[in-house]
């Protein structure tokens, strides 16, 4: 006997999309794309003939969720009936008297875990799922702590939103350890496998799985993310396969201006890197810019917006390529400025900064203010 489940987490419906500088209709279309991603996940559950759909929390944003989203979720999960849907609320969609988990009339196939302790349900003959909920936006304790241990024969799985502590650093700065636990806690509790949410970067352990956010939530995301199709054997072995369900396209582009001598070269290069793409883009501008070359952010943005819905531009090691040896020989104010700074007792990094800022000011440059 075996069971098949589809697991996802961290969809974050009604996200504001401020991270990609989208607003208005663009932000609205991105939020609609998150809904399309959920529809792709439910279609995957049907197509794989899954025994259940699992959500590991942060399905939506509690402070931003709309009535329309509430109705969309109810209809979407009802459309899976009789396939059961199990939801373990996270820190962004925490369970409380004002959450849509409590106020909505869900179809009979939807099971929402409502306590900050793990409670059991049977998902298939011989297979028990233990799930718990965040009941506040912060300060949820370890679901596997306090001597928790499963009871009864068969295979035991867990579903919750929590931070495995050894992987916390790998998730990047700013990730808060909500409901923190250690890997060893899973087996100590007698569980065969834990299906989790909270980490947006996908991660797999011998006895636990983070699917990662199924649709992009920020630039620079890496790792194979999506919904997880898991097959569970009667002996407790779990085989997981990720399926891409994302609707949103997100691209990290690079523009090195070191050898450019004309604005047309910039336009041509941007056209090449944007060709055949769409969605959202972040452009990183780097290199040593020829001082005679004007580099305006709005001009770059306008060109990229011909291809992409929203564009973010940032700099990384972008400098004006002044020939300091040549300038210091000039019988000009610029030359005297360079001679004075080069002769001053300054740390090297401070000297470079003063020279770049001063020469740009003397040349009347304003194009690098925001790059």
Q: Which of 179, 211, 243 is the last residue of a domain?
A: 243
Reported as a single tens digit per residue, the pLDDT across 172-201 is: 656 677 999 999 999 999 999 999 999 999
Q: Which helix (H) or strand (E) holds 273?
A: helix 263-274
Q: Which two tokens stand for residue 83?
A: 């396939």
**What's 71's domain CATH number?**
3.60.21.10
Q: Answer whether residue 96 is part of any domain.
A: yes
Per-residue confidence band for 98, with pLDDT thresholds at 50, 70 and 90: very high
Are 204 and 266 within one domain? no
pLDDT of residue 259: 86
d(CA 269, CA 257): 10
Residues 147 and 68 in one domain: yes
Q: Are residues 288 and 197 in the same domain?
A: no
Task: Compute the average pLDDT of residues 221-250.
Answer: 92
Tell which residue, 90, 89, 7, has the closest CA to residue 42. Answer: 7
In this prediction, residue 370 carries a pLDDT of: 40
Same domain, residue pair 157 and 281? no
| pLDDT value of position 17 | 66
Pair 163, 303 in one domain: no
What pLDDT sits at residue 18?
61
> What is the extent of the structural domain holding 315?
250-362
**Of 19-23, 49-53, 65-69, the least confident:** 19-23
Section 8-37 average pLDDT = 81
The pTM is what? 0.83
Domain boundary residue, one of 201, 225, 243? 243
7 with 145, same domain: the answer is yes
If we measure between CA atoms, which residue out of 7, 19, 78 comes closest to residue 230?
7
Q: Average of pLDDT values for 59-71?
A: 92
pLDDT at 163 over 90: yes
Query: Radius of gyration (Cα) for the chain, nearest Å?
Result: 26
Residues 219 and 176 in one domain: yes
In this structure, what DSSP letter does residue 181 have? B
Helical segments of the chain, H only? 24-47, 67-78, 100-103, 183-188, 263-274, 297-304, 324-327, 333-343, 348-362
Boundary-marking domain end, from 212, 243, 274: 243
Residue 371 lies in a domain: no
Token reading at 240:
């997981």
**The predicted structure's pLDDT at residue 316:** 87
Q: What share of the chain is helix, strand, coil (3-state, %, to 5)?
A: 30, 25, 45
Per-residue pLDDT for 371 more than 60?
A: no
Q: Quick one: pLDDT at residue 320?
A: 74
> Of how many residues is the chain composed?
371
Residue 301 structure tokens: 């943005």
Does 369 fall in a domain?
A: no
Q: Which of the two residues, 93 and 357, has the higher pLDDT score?
A: 93
C-alpha count within 13 angstroms, C-beta hemisphere, residue 270: 26
Question: Domain check: are 154 and 15 in the same one?
Answer: yes
Are 12 and 160 part of one and the same domain? yes
User: Can you give the pLDDT at residue 297?
Assistant: 87
Res 110 pLDDT > 70: yes
**Residue 370 belongs to some domain of the structure:** no
Checking if the pLDDT of 136 tops 90, the result is yes
User: 224 with 307, same domain?
Assistant: no
> pLDDT (tens digit, 9 = 90+) per residue, 339-366?
998 889 989 888 878 887 888 788 776 6
156 lies in the same domain as 293: no
| 367: in domain | no
Q: What percent of the chain has pLDDT over 70?
A: 94
Look at the chain and report how many structural domains it folds into: 2
- Do 277 and 144 lie in one domain? The reply is no
Residue 170, pLDDT > 90, answer no
Any idea which of 132-136, 173-177, 237-241 has the lowest mean pLDDT? 173-177
What does the pLDDT look like over 296-333, one tens digit per residue? 889 999 999 999 988 889 988 887 777 788 888 889 98
Task: Give the CA-trace dihedral at 195, 140, 38, 69, to 10 degrees.
Answer: 160
């Amino acid at each position: 006997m075996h069971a098949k489940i589809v697991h996802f987490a961290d969809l974050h419906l009604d996200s504001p999309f401020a991270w990609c500088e989208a607003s208005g209709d663009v932000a609205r279309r991105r939020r609609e794309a998150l809904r399309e991603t959920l529809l792709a996940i439910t279609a995957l559950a049907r197509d794989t003939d899954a025994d259940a759909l699992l959500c590991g929390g942060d399905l939506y944003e509690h402070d931003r969720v709309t009535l329309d989203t509430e109705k969309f979720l109810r209809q979407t999960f009802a459309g899976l009936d009789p396939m059961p849907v199990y939801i373990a609320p996270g820190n962004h969609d925490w369970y409380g008297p004002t959450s849509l988990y409590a106020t909505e009339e869900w179809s009979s196939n939807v099971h929402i875990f409502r306590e900050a302790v793990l409670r059991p349900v049977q998902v298939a003959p011989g297979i028990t799922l233990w799930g718990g909920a965040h009941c506040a936006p912060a300060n949820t304790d370890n679901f596997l702590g306090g001597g928790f241990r499963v009871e009864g024969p068969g295979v035991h799985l867990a579903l919750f939103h929590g931070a495995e502590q050894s992987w916390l650093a790998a998730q990047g700065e700013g990730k808060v350890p909500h409901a923190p636990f250690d890997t060893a806690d899973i087996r100590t509790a007698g569980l065969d496998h834990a299906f989790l949410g909270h980490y947006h970067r996908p991660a797999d352990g011998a006895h636990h799985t983070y699917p990662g956010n199924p649709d992009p939530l920020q630039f620079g995301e890496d790792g194979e993310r999506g919904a997880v199709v898991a097959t569970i054997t009667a002996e407790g072995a779990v085989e997981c396969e990720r399926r891409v369900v994302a609707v949103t396209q997100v691209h990290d582009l690079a523009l090195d201006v070191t050898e450019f001598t004309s604005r047309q070269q910039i336009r041509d290069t941007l056209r090449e890197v944007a060709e055949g793409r769409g969605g959202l883009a972040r452009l990183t501008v780097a290199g040593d810019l020829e001082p005679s070359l004007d580099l305006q952010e709005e001009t770059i943005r306008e060109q990229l917006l011909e291809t992409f819905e929203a564009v973010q531009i940032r700099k990384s090691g972008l400098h004006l390529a002044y020939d300091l040896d040549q300038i210091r020989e000039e019988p000009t104010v610029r030359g005297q400025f360079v001679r004075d700074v080069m002769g001053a007792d300054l740390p090297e990094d401070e000297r470079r900064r003063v020279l770049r800022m001063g020469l740009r000011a003397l040349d009347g440059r304003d194009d690098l203010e925001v790059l």
